[in-house]
Amino acid sequence: MLVQMHSTLWQNAPLFTKAKGRRMRNGLERLESDEIDLLELFRQCWKDRVIILLAAALATIVAVAYALWTPSIYRAQIVIAPGALANFGSLAGQIQARSSQPVAVAIADGKQLAVDSFELLIAQLESKASKAEFDASHVEAPRNVTLEIKRGRAEGEPVTVSARAGHSGHAGRFLDAYLAFASVRASAELNGFLTGMGLNYEAASSMLYRVESPSHELSSPVHPKPLLIITLGFVLGTMVGVFIVMMRALFKRESGTPAFS
């Protein structure tokens, strides 16, 4: 029985070898066909390079028009943090005298007063009513300015205040003027609260915050970026041109005509 099976396998061995050889040849032919198609694709792109160049040129023209006609946006920003603890020493001392608390508690109260006063300032900066009052009382201040406030992760961390305007210099001027206006309103609110508590203390607007990074405006607009826009337009236009060439070749193949001719 074993001898018979061995004989049968030996007789059928050429069939297996031929089938395996055919599969290998078919795979090589498909690989060779793919290589030829890829080579022909590059040839077709070169042959239809006018289409690709026209698409790239058209997209570049659109990008240039967009970059030139889109209004420029300039940005200014300042980073502020809670005022120094020394600014609130006198106020913390009055609170300690009234409550007979230890000095350590008074220091902790002073730190919290600095943070709370700073939060009053940020609330004024974010207030729409405060912004409307500023616009009404400061006629000479730049208009159409967008204000953005980026808080830290925790209370009392530095805050970035930025302004965007359509003309160079306007964002910086607005930021400085509005910060001064908001700090005056915040100090008035704080002093009203302290007076209500019966404390003889007047907080100055400058003690509510300290400047971590001075106000500065970028010399070049943050939007648009002409070089980036034009480069992207050229690249996308070239890709569209290559896509059109490939679709034309595909339609020719499906219609029975030589694909790359």
What are the percentages of helix, strand and coil residues in the chain, rounded to 5? 65, 10, 20
Q: What is the pLDDT of residue 36?
A: 45
Alpha helices in 48-99 (DSSP H): 49-69, 89-99
Q: Domain residue spans in the chain?
A: 49-70+224-261, 72-217
Average confidence score pLDDT of the chain: 80
Q: Does 252 or 172 have the greater pLDDT score? A: 172
What is the phi/psi pair of residue 160, to 5°? -100, 120
The CA distance from 80 to 199, in Å, is 27
The CA distance from 114 to 183, in Å, is 13
pTM beyond cutoff 0.75: no
What is the tens place of the pLDDT at every residue in 114-136? 898 999 999 999 999 999 899 88
Please give the class, per CATH, of domain 72-217: alpha beta
The CA distance from 8 to 230, in Å, is 72
The CA distance from 238 to 243, in Å, is 9
Q: What is the pLDDT of residue 49?
A: 87
